[in-house]
Amino acid sequence: MKGKCDEELNKFSSKSSNLGLVLVNKEEFLLPFEESSRTLLDYQKLSKTKEKYPRRIEIIRKDYS
C-alpha cells in the first residue's frame, strides 16, 4: 500500500508473469485525516513460480550491476 504507484506497477507488470501473478484489482483512496493518497493492489496467483526463483543474492547483485 502506498501513494501513486503507477510507475512501479508498470515496472512490476512484466515481472509478475514470472511469478505466476495477475493483477485482479487496483483500489485508490484517500486517508481520512491525512488526506494522502494510497493504493491497494490485489494479485491472484495463477501458476507456480518459475524454477529460477528465488534467486541467490549473488545473482541478484550481478543482474543490477
**Considering only CA atoms, which of 21, 25, 28, 65 is closest in space to residue 46?**
21
Determine contact, residues 29/51, Cβ cutoff 8 Å: no
pLDDT of residue 24: 94
pLDDT digits (tens, 9 = 90+) for 2-61: 556 888 888 888 788 888 899 999 998 888 888 888 888 899 999 888 777 777 788 778
Strand residues in the chain grouped as ranges (E)? 21-30, 37-45
Contact 1/39 with Cβ under 8 angstroms?
Answer: yes
Per-residue confidence (pLDDT) for residue 42, from 0 to 100: 92
pLDDT of residue 6: 82
